[in-house]
Amino acid sequence: MLSADGELTGYENLLISAKLYGISRMERKKVIRQALDFMELSHVASRLVSHYSGGMIRRLEVAQAMLHRPAVLFLDEPTVGLDPVAKHSVWQRIRNLRQEFGTTIFMTTHDMEEADRLCENVAFMHQSRIVALDSPARLKSTLGAEATLDDVFIQCTGTSIEERGDYRDAARTRHTAERVE
C-alpha cells in the first residue's frame, strides 16, 4: 500500500506530511526542499506522483517519513518490487539517513542481501520467534567464510519449507482466531 497520493505532486505529498507532523508553516518549505534534495527528487517535485517510477515513489515515501527527523524510523520492505538500480538508490538514501542524521532504522526485509548491506544487527524470525540475533558478519562466520545470510537463515529456520493444509484449513484457522478474540 502506497502512502503517497498519485493525484498529487511530490511536493504536495510532502506538504501534507509536514502539516501532519506539525512542522511550523515557517519551516515547511525549507524542510520539504531539504527532503527533496536529500532523496534526489527535486527535479520531479512538481510532477504528479502517478508519473513517478517505483523507485522514485519509494524515495518519496522515505522522504515523507523523515520530514520531522525522527530519531527512530521504521521501514517495512523498503525496496520490495524495485529493479536493481532503484533498489541501490534507496539503499544509498537509507545509509545517508543513518550517517547524516544519526537515525536508528528498524527495517523488515526478506532480501538477505539488503539486510547484509544495510543492517548493523539482524534478527531472524521463524514461527513468531527470534531464532538468531547478531551482526551479519558474526552470523555468517558461524557457517564459514563463504556463507551468506541466506545460508544462515536456512540453517536457523530449517532446510525445507513446510506447507500444510489448504484453503479450508486456512479459513478454519481464521474462523477459530476470530472466535477467540
The answer to whether position 143 is within a domain reads: yes
Residue from 114, 133, 124, 135 nearest 157 by CA: 124
The answer to whether position 45 is within a domain reads: no
Question: Beta partners for 9?
Answer: 48
- What pLDDT band is residue 171 in, cutting at 50, 70 and 90? low
pLDDT in tens, 128-166: 899 999 999 999 999 988 999 999 999 998 855 454 555
pLDDT in tens, 28-62: 999 999 999 988 999 999 999 999 998 899 899 98
- In the three-class reduction of DSSP (H, G, I as helix; E, B as strand; rest coil), residue 68 is classed as coil
Q: How many domains, in total, are found in the chain?
A: 1
Q: Domain of 140?
A: 122-181
Q: What is the pTM of this model?
A: 0.72
Mean pLDDT computed over 12-23:
96
The answer to whether position 176 is within a domain reads: yes
The answer to whether position 178 is within a domain reads: yes
The answer to whether position 131 is within a domain reads: yes
Grid cell of 18 as nine digits: 509536514
pLDDT higher than threshold 80 for residue 173 = no
Helices (H) and strands (E) in the chain, counts: 8, 4
**Inter-axis angle of helices 54-66 and 84-101, to 10 degrees?**
20
Contact 86, 79 (CB under 8 A): yes
The answer to whether position 163 is within a domain reads: yes
Q: How far apart are the first and last CA of the chain?
A: 26
The answer to whether position 149 is within a domain reads: yes
pLDDT higher than threshold 80 for residue 85 = yes
The answer to whether position 146 is within a domain reads: yes
